[in-house]
Chains A and B, each alone.
Chain A
Amino acid sequence: MKAIIVIGVVFVVTACSSMDTVKPWDKDLLAKQSMQPVPDFFENFYDEHIYFSKEASSGGQSVGGGGCGCN
């Protein structure tokens, strides 16, 4: 598993390095709310909370979300 992760990360970083740099004046679309990784804070928050309570997996997006009894 670890080998797969290392190979994957190296591959991704290498592939990403081939990207052309996007200039600041070309970031009009990227600046839109809909283009943010989390465009709706509470929609994401509610999803994280529900699935944390109902599934055995959690996390992955960030750290420091806080705890919950969630029976």
Chain B
Amino acid sequence: MQLKYIKKELGVATCALLQVPAAAVHSSDADWDIDTAVLFYSESDNGVSAFEPAIYAGKDLGDGERIDLRLVVDVLTGATPNGAHPSSVAQTFTTPSGGSTYTTQPGETPRDDSFKDTRVAAGVDWTLPFNRLQRIKLGLNGSTEYDYQSLGISATYLQDFNNRNTTLSAGLAFNNDTISPVGGVPTPLSNMREAGTGTNRVGGDDTKTLTDFILGITQVMSRKTLVQLNYSLGMYDGYLTDPYKIITVVDQNGLPATSAFTNGDLPYIYEKRPDSRQINSLYFKTVHHLTRDVINFSYRYFWDDWGITSNTFDLKYRYEIGRGYLQPQVRYYLQDAADFYVHNLKLGDPLPETASSDYRLAKMTTTTLSLKYGHAVGENSEWSIRAGFMNQSVDDGDVLAGTETPDTDAIIVNAGYSFFW
């Protein structure tokens, strides 16, 4: 008896480490389930700002058939890091078009302030039942922005069994993206040129593909606990470099090696990443109902063949208050650097085959704290607002003082209103 009890408790504890996403709760067949939302994201020191309104509409078509539609507009302004690091001297860079310059003062993070973009993304999912326990979800996604187009298709098969307490899922997706950088695709590892002296370019655009697989299990553990476990495999092929990122070539004093280059070459070279990447992740989630409140916890372990591994923890606690709720959230992410990540390149050293000093490929952590308040209105609608703060901190290791990567701080605010129509 005692052993049986312990085994059961062990089962709960183990599965509580797992996670899975599921369909939302729906209204009656006749109604459209509408979600509207808007995101405001703003980095400190005149970094990137994003304004992102979005709408979702879903409807049950009867007998398990369902359609889901999404439309998102993403307006980006501000200045984005160009990959070079701060220096004790002023640094002048050429904009991607090759026609003008921008200067970064000593100690400041080099940022390209010509950056701005508007992205429109749309998607549709169509869920088709085979019978009461089997169904397939077919998806189509597309997005367009000034320098980037993406088109993707997906199919996910879902099978319920064990009195619908267990759902197995298997998904496959394919994405084809085209990038048309401002000024063209830079010649990898070539020098940035002085404005008006021509640009090192190999073409106008390039492409990449992503093939994604996922296998998942969602398990009802008890009347109050749900767990999920997914394994994902993704394979990227093609142009995976960021065409706007550069690397500083430094002299023996650690300063940009300006005098070592002539004929319009600047001491900055365009980065180059491998042309393939295999990513893997294990994703666990558990949702647990306390007496009134709900805990939602997830953990992801990620690894790839670029040498990056990461751990992500995300915890939300929903505290019920009358017709509303408060939900604090803590997210913590830590990653190791890519094998080809460099802080800078040293003058005279042979050029590596691949290199990037994009801080997003460095050893770093992201910490996010947020608080959300949601409130039910009537029987079938709810509004909510969430405000959060994100900090990204890079571990540069042993680098020259004054060239460290500064933290990235951002404010995240999003609001939503959901209703049936």
Mark A residues whose CB is within 8 Å of B. 1, 5, 8-9, 11-13, 15-24, 26-47, 49-51, 54-69, 71
In the assembled complex, the Cα of A36 lies from the Cα of B165 at a distance in Å of: 14
Known interface pairs A64-B153, A66-B121; 19 further A-B residue pairs with C-beta atoms within 8 A, sorted by A's residue number: A5-B231, A16-B227, A18-B8, A19-B165, A20-B8, A29-B289, A32-B294, A34-B294, A41-B56, A42-B56, A43-B372, A59-B234, A61-B283, A62-B156, A63-B232, A67-B141, A67-B143, A67-B150, A68-B148
What are 6 residue pairs bridging A and B, where the CB atoms are less than 8 Å apart in the complex?
A37-B285, A57-B279, A57-B335, A60-B281, A66-B142, A66-B175
B300 to A42, Cβ gap below 8 A?
no
Given the interface pairs A46-B52, A69-B179, the reply to whether A63 lies near B218 with Cβ below 8 Å is no
B163 to A24, Cβ gap below 8 A?
yes
A40 to B416, Cβ gap below 8 A?
yes
In the assembled complex, the Cα of A38 lies from the Cα of B185 at a distance in Å of: 39
Given the interface pairs A42-B414, A69-B145, the reply to whether A18 lies near B7 with Cβ below 8 Å is yes
Residues of A within 8 A of B52 (CB): 46, 49
B37 to A46, Cβ gap below 8 A?
yes
Partner of A34, one of B19, B230, B318: B318
B347, CB-defined interface residue at 8 Å: no
Residues of B within 8 A of A39 (CB): 24, 296, 318
A42 to B35, Cβ gap below 8 A?
yes
Chain A residue nearest to B112 (CB atoms) is A71
Residues of A within 8 A of B408 (CB): 54
Residues of A within 8 A of B333 (CB): 51, 55, 57
B24 to A41, Cβ gap below 8 A?
yes
Residues of A within 8 A of B294 (CB): 32, 34-35
Shortest Cβ distance from residue B92 to the other chain A in the assembled complex, whole angstroms: 20
B420, CB-defined interface residue at 8 Å: no
Instruction: Return the CB mask of B309-341 against A: 1 if under 8 Å, else 0.
Output: 010100000100000010000010101001000
In the assembled complex, the Cα of A64 lies from the Cα of B319 at a distance in Å of: 32
B221 to A57, Cβ gap below 8 A?
no
